[in-house]
Amino acid sequence: MTLLSLALAACVAGCKKKSTEGAGSATGTGAGTSGPGTGAPPPAQRPSQGQLQAMPALALPDDPARDAKIALGHALFFDKRLSGDGSRSCYSCHMNENGLGGADPIAIGAGDKPLTRHSPVLWNVGYMKGGLYWDGRSATLEEQAKAAWGGGNLGVGADNLEAKAKEMGAIAGYKPLFKAAFGDDAASVDRIVQALAEYERTMVCADTAYDKFARGDKAALTEEQQRGLDVFLGKGQCSACHTPPHFSIAMQVEGGVYFNAGVGTAGKDEAAVDVGRMKVTTNASDWAAFKVPSLRNVARTAPYFHDGSAATLTDAVTYMSNGAAPNKNLSALLGNKNLTASETSELVSFLNSLDCAGTLAEPKLP
Ligand code: HEC
Ligand code: HEC
C-alpha cells in the first residue's frame, strides 16, 4: 500500500468511527432534547458522549501448556544470563518504572553499545497483527524475540543462539520449567522464543479509566478528561491514527500502519535520516514513516517517539497537534490543528486516563 492509500484507509476508519459515534448519540441521549436555541451544544456534538469502544479481550487459541510456557517465558524475560555479556535482560529496556518502555532516548544494548531507536511500550503487543518494531520488520512476537536476543539488544549474535539456548537449558532450575512447557527438558532457540512470546501476550492493558468510561462508568473520567477526549476524537483528529480502543490503528490492521510524522527529519541531511518503514518495503512513499504507537500508558513512558526526541508528554502532544516537521513525505493528516493551550492540556489530561494499572512481577529466577 502507498502512504496515500494508508492515509485514506486511516481517514476512512476515523470517519467511519465518527459517524458511528454520531449515530450512537443521536439514538441515545438524543438530539431532540437540546435543539437549536437551547444554549448548550447538543450532546451529539460531543464525541466523548457518543458510543465508545472499550478494549476487547485478547483471543488466543487453546493451548493446555500455555501457563507453563508463560512461567518459563516470565523467568527468561527477566534473566540477564540470556544476554551475551550477562549485563541485560529483556526487562532491562522494558521496565515497570518506564511504563514497559525505555528511559533512555535511544536504547543502549549489551556491551553498552547504543542501538538506533527508543524502546517502545510493550503493553498489548499481543494484539498486534504482525508489524513488530517501529518499522514493522518482524512478523511475529517469536521472530522479534529472536532478533532482540541475537542482535544488539542482548548481544548474543545470531550464530550463537543455539549454544546459548543449551547453556540456559543446562541451568538445573530451568529443566522442570522446560519440561512442563514442552514435555521434555531440552532447551532450544524455538522453545525459548515461544515462551518469551507467550509471556508477552500476558501484558494486557484493558481496564484503564477510559475503558471504564467506555463501558458506561461516566464518573471514570473527569470533566476535563472528557473535554480532552472531545479534542482527541474531534478537533485534534488524533483518533484517525491513534484509533480507540487500541489507540493505534496499527494494532487493528494486518501488518501494521506507518506514517511519516516528520520525527527525526528536522534540520537533517536526507541521507542522515532514519528511513524507517522504507527499509522494509523499499517504497519511497514509506520514507521516514514509523508505526503508529499505542497511546496506552503514554503518560508514564517519557521520552517519546522512535528517536526519544520529545522529553515530555506535552512536548509530544504539541508536536503532533500544532506543527509536525514539514518534509517531503509528511502525512497529510498531520496539518496544524491550531489547538489552544487549554485544549492541549485537556488532551494531556485525557491521555492520563490511559494509564495501565498493572506491573510485571519480578520472578524468582531458577
Ligand atoms: C537494549 C535494550 C533492549 C533490550 C535488552 C530488549 N529490547 Fe525490546 N526493544 C528495544 C528497542 C530499542 C526496540 C525498538 C527497535 C526498533 O524498532 O528498531 C524494541 C522493540 C521490542 C518489541 C516490539 C514492540 C512493538 O511495538 O513493535 C518487542 C515485542 C520487544 N522489544 C521485546 C523484547 C524482548 C522479548 C526482549 C528480550 C529477548 C527485548 N525486547 C530486549 C530495546 C530493547
Ligand atoms: C497521521 C497519523 C497520526 C495522527 C493524526 C496523530 N498521530 Fe501521534 N503518532 C503517529 C506516529 C506515526 C507516531 C510515531 C512517530 C515517530 O516516532 O516517528 C506518533 C506518536 C505519538 C506520540 C508518542 C508516543 C510514544 O510512545 O512515543 C504521542 C504522544 C502522540 N503521537 C499523540 C498524538 C496526538 C495527541 C494526536 C492528535 C493531536 C496525534 N498523535 C495524531 C501518528 C499520528
The predicted-structure confidence for 51-73, as pLDDT tens digits, reads as follows 999 999 999 999 999 999 999 99
- Write down how long the chain is: 366
Q: How far is the CA of 24 from the centre of ligand 1 (A)?
A: 39
**pLDDT tens figures, 250-297:** 999 999 999 999 999 999 999 999 999 999 999 999 999 999 999 999
pLDDT for the residue numbered 6: 46
Residue 303 preceded by cis peptide, ω within 30: yes
Q: How far is the CA of 148 from the centre of ligand 1 (A)?
A: 6
One-letter amino acid at 28 equals G
Model confidence at 160, in pLDDT bands (50, 70, 90)?
very high
**Closest by CA position to 322, among listed 340, 336, 305:** 336
Find the mean pLDDT for residues 182-190: 98
Find the mean pLDDT for residues 240-259: 98
CB environment 82-109: b (16+ within 10 A), e (fewer): bbbeeebbbbbbbbeebbbbbbebbbbb
Residue 120 preceded by cis peptide, ω within 30: no
**pLDDT tens figures, 319-336:** 999 989 999 999 999 999
Cβ(301)–Cβ(121) under 8 Å? yes
- The ligand 2 atom nearest the CA atom of 313: 29
Q: How far is the CA of 292 from the centre of ligand 2 (A)?
A: 6
How many CB atoms lie under 10 A from the CB of residue 355? 17
Ligand nearest, relative to CA of residue 144: 1
**Closest by CA position to 104, among listed 91, 90, 122, 118:** 118
pLDDT for the residue numbered 30: 34
**pLDDT tens figures, 292-309:** 999 999 999 999 999 999
CB environment 31-55: b (16+ within 10 A), e (fewer): eeebeeeeeeebbbebbbbbebbbb
* 331 CB burial (10 A radius; 0-12, 13-18, 19+): buried
Report whether pLDDT(36) > 80. no
- The ligand 1 atom nearest the CA atom of 106: 12
User: Which residues are within 8 A (CB) of 192 and not within 5 positions of it... i.e. 6 or more apart?
Assistant: 76, 82, 145, 149, 165, 168
Query: What cell was used for 44?
Result: 451529539
One-letter amino acid at 246 equals H
Please tell me the number of Cα atoms within 13 Å of 294 on its side-chain side: 30
**pLDDT tens figures, 193-233:** 999 999 999 999 999 999 999 999 999 999 999 999 999 99
Ligand nearest, relative to CA of residue 119: 1
- Rounded to whole angstroms, how far apart are CA atoms 362 and 366? 12
Q: How far is the CA of 119 from the centre of ligand 1 (A)?
A: 6
Model confidence at 39, in pLDDT bands (50, 70, 90)?
low
Pocket test for ligand 2, best of 241, 304, 330 (most atoms within 8 A of CB): 241
pLDDT for the residue numbered 45: 82
Residue tagged 497529510 (cell numbers): 332
**pLDDT tens figures, 79-120:** 999 999 999 999 999 999 999 999 999 999 999 999 999 999
Mean pLDDT of the chain: 90
One-letter amino acid at 359 equals T
Pocket test for ligand 2, best of 274, 291, 292 (most atoms within 8 A of CB): 292
State the Cα torsion 215-219-222-223 to the nearest 10°: 90
**Closest by CA position to 307, among listed 325, 290, 286:** 290
How many CB atoms lie under 10 A from the CB of residue 223? 9
How many CB atoms lie under 10 A from the CB of residue 361? 9
pLDDT for the residue numbered 29: 35
- Report the pocket of ligand 1 as residue ranges, CB < 6 Å: 88, 90, 92-94, 107-109, 115, 117, 119-120, 122, 125, 132-135, 141, 144-145, 148-149, 153-154, 196, 200
Q: How far is the CA of 3 from the centre of ligand 1 (A)?
A: 25
User: Which residues are within 8 A (CB) of 113 and not within 5 positions of it... i.e. 6 or more apart?
Assistant: 152, 155
The sign of the torsion formed by the CA atoms of 142, 148, 154, 156 equals: positive
Cβ(118)–Cβ(105) under 8 Å? yes
- Report the pocket of ligand 2 as residue ranges, CB < 6 Å: 121, 236-238, 240-242, 259, 261, 263, 290, 292-293, 295, 298, 301, 304-306, 316-317, 320-321, 331, 333-334, 337, 347
Ligand nearest, relative to CA of residue 351: 2
pLDDT for the residue numbered 103: 95
Q: What angle do CA 305, 310, 313 make, to 5 degrees?
A: 95
How many CB atoms lie under 10 A from the CB of residue 358? 16
Q: Whose CA is nearest to atom 12 of ligand 2?
A: 292
- Rounded to whole angstroms, how far apart are CA atoms 56 and 62? 18
Model confidence at 33, in pLDDT bands (50, 70, 90)?
very low
Pocket test for ligand 2, best of 117, 232, 242, 313 (most atoms within 8 A of CB): 242
pLDDT for the residue numbered 323: 83
288 to 96, 130, 252, 325, 349: CA distances (angstroms): 29, 19, 21, 12, 29
Ligand nearest, relative to CA of residue 311: 2
pLDDT for the residue numbered 41: 53
